Amino acid sequence: MTIDFKKFNQQFPADKMKQDIKEAKENSGSNLPDGVYTCKLEKMELGESSKQQLMIKAQFRIIKGEHKKQCIFKNCVLTGTKNDGFMMVKANEFLDSLDSGVDVTFETWEQYNDLILDIAEAVQDDGLQYVVKLTTDGKYQIMEIIDILD
């Protein structure tokens, strides 16, 4: 089997790939030690998990300290669990904890998607920053917002 590298060079230019690799290394959140970090919400959306289940995907950027510029990811799976209702309650608690001023309710998936985008926009417009605590429980790292800075 022969690979058409010309096609891949056009679709994925080497210079852009090198830049993407560099950014991924700088933004990797997987090596963060447990602790307290000051960060900002960089982006948040309703997306799909690797198992095609709906989930909230949030990315925070550390803005102070030794790990400045690294990312912390918060994923909340909403469907396909043993207790989807409980997962929605936990997701809504997370959305409320962002203190965006947007009322968190679920009516339809389309409305919920718009809600998540509205919350992200409100947080960014208000310039909110968060103090978050990372703790490891087994193989998972848990992120908890412990303070809001404005």
pLDDT tens per residue, range 57-78: 999 999 999 999 999 999 999 9
Least confident of 19-23, 75-79, 134-138: 19-23
pLDDT computed for residue 16 by the predictor = 78
Cα(132)–Cα(62) distance, rounded to whole angstroms? 10
pLDDT of residue 29: 45
Label residue 26 exposed, middle or buried (CB < 10 Å: 0-12, 13-18, 19+).
exposed
Which two three-digit tokens encode residue 74? 């918060």
Domain map (residue ranges) of the chain = 38-149
User: For residue range 125-134, what is the model confidence (pLDDT) as tens digits?
Assistant: 999 999 999 9
The mean of the pLDDT values for the chain is 89
- Average confidence (pLDDT) over 136-150: 90
Average pLDDT over residues 86-113: 96
**Weakest mean pLDDT among 3-7, 56-60, 139-143:** 3-7
